[in-house]
Amino acid sequence: MFRIVKKEALNPTVSKMVIEAPLIANKARAGQFIILRVDDRGERIPLTVADYDRQAGTVTIIYQIVGATTMRLDRLQEGDQLADFVGPLGKPTDVEGKKRVAVVGGGVGCAIALPVAKAMQQAGTVVDSVVGFRNRDLVILEEEFKAVSNEYRLMTDDGSAGQKGLVTDALRELLQQNEYDEVIAIGPLVMMKFVSLLTKEYGVKTVVSMNPIMIDGTGMCGGCRLTVGGETKFACVDGPEFDGHLVDFDQAMERGRTYHAYEQERCNLLKKEAE
């Protein structure tokens, strides 16, 4: 069992949990993920490692309450236990040898973008960050991003915080001003798709972090497969990071909707239960 050491709501739909998992904390690196199960009848869901503390033996996850499992997860409190917590899975981010990068985070994807930005900054890379949210109430990790960024651009859909507009608006400006070795985009598939289209215009290498449906996370089920440059890849073992210019995002979006109807039904059940 894996104890929840700390739980904190970052905004109305996004929460942070610090989990006691010393072996995983000892090995985790930016870009990797874990798989958890809330309880014995629970499904296995992948979540990217948001942070880790090797001394304290803890791993931090940040999740958005979007489906039945994250609803169930969010009902747990500090001191409660997760049934299963396994990792670190996937390949870590390649942080070596980059002079300047732009890190783009969208919504809860910022939770995954932050450790990447942090690892890059620690490796001596100049990091410019662009983060986007729907509105000011949803903004998370602002201070944390500022701490590791040379430049920090906050975008909201309605202009209630930072600038009004999309992350691609701010990124276009940065691409015009600066030379980047790489752009790292982490967020909704549609955001990563449009960031990749933009950076292609500028010929800047772009890395995206894919978060498809998976079960085991070790290459066994193949449920997480996606098409990259015409080839089938498994996000769990070949990724989760891929070349954004080669990923078939439209296919990934359709595959992500495979269990949409089921998920809705489960969520409604849970909501009724809670009432």
Partner 1 sequence: MANMSLEKQKMPELAPDIRNKNFEEVALGYTPEQAVEEAGRCLNCKNKPCVGGCPVQIDIPAFIQKIQQKDFEGAYQIISASSALPAVCGRVCPQENQCEGRCVRGIKGEPVAIGRLERFVADWHMKNATAVPEKPVSNGKRIAIIGSGPAGLTCAGDLARKGYEVTVFEALHVAGGVLVYGIPEFRLPKAIVAREIEGLKAMGVKVETNMVIGRVLSVDELFEQGFDGVFIGTGAGLPRFMGIPGENLKGVLSANEFLTRVNLMKAYLPDSETPIQRGRRVAVVGGGNVAMDAARCAKRLGAEEVYIIYRRSMEEIPARAEEIHHAIEEGIIFKTLTNPVEILGDEHQNVTGLSCVEMTLGEPDASGRRRPVVKEGSRHTLEMDTVIMAIGTSPNPLIRSTTPGLETNQYGCIVTEEETGLTSREMVYAGGDAVTGAATVILAMGAGKQAAKAIDEKLSK
For residue 206, the minimal CB distance to partner 1 (Å) is 22
264 binds partner 1 (CB under 8 A): no
Region binding partner 1 by CB under 8 A among candidate stretches 5-13, 34-42, 119-127, 136-144: 34-42
For residue 26, the minimal CB distance to partner 1 (Å) is 8
Q: Do residues 167 and 131 make contact, with C-beta atoms less than 8 angstroms apart?
A: yes
Region binding partner 1 by CB under 8 A among candidate stretches 53-61, 159-167, 182-190, 219-227: 219-227
CA 222 to chain CA mean position, Å = 20
Q: Do residues 183 and 171 make contact, with C-beta atoms less than 8 angstroms apart?
A: yes
Name which of 152, 243, 248, 253 is nearest 199 in CA terms: 243
Considering only residues 142 to 161 of the shown chain, the ones binding partner 1 according to CB under 8 A are: none
Name which of 113, 87, 118, 275 is nearest 183 in CA terms: 113
CA distance 219 to 261: 26
251 binds partner 1 (CB under 8 A): yes
Nearer to partner 1 by C-beta: 100 or 266? 266
271 binds partner 1 (CB under 8 A): no
Overall size of the chain counted in residues: 275
Nearer to partner 1 by C-beta: 42 or 188? 42
Residue with tokens 């450790």: 115
Q: Do residues 167 and 155 make contact, with C-beta atoms less than 8 angstroms apart?
A: yes
One residue of 126, 161, 197, 221 binding partner 1 per CB under 8 A? 221
The DSSP 8-state label assigned to residue 107 in this structure reads G
Query: How many of the chain's residues bind partner 1 (CB under 8 A)?
Result: 41
65 binds partner 1 (CB under 8 A): no
Nearer to partner 1 by C-beta: 72 or 193? 72
Q: Kindly tell me the burial class for residue 124, based on how many C-beta atoms sit within 10 Å of its own C-beta (0-12, 13-18, 19 or more).
A: exposed
70 binds partner 1 (CB under 8 A): no
Cα-Cα-Cα-Cα torsion 198, 201, 203, 206, nearest 10 degrees, comes to 20
Name which of 143, 144, 183 is nearest 167 in CA terms: 183
One residue of 126, 197, 237, 267 binding partner 1 per CB under 8 A? 237
Provide the H-helix boundaries in the chain: 22-27, 68-74, 110-122, 142-148, 167-177, 189-202, 235-238, 249-256, 260-274
For residue 255, the minimal CB distance to partner 1 (Å) is 6
Considering only residues 13 to 32 of the shown chain, the ones binding partner 1 according to CB under 8 A are: 23-24, 27
218 binds partner 1 (CB under 8 A): yes
> Which spans of this chain sit near partner 1 (rule: CB under 8 A)?
23-24, 27, 37, 41-44, 68-69, 72, 83-89, 215-223, 225-227, 232, 237, 251, 254-255, 257-259, 262-263, 266
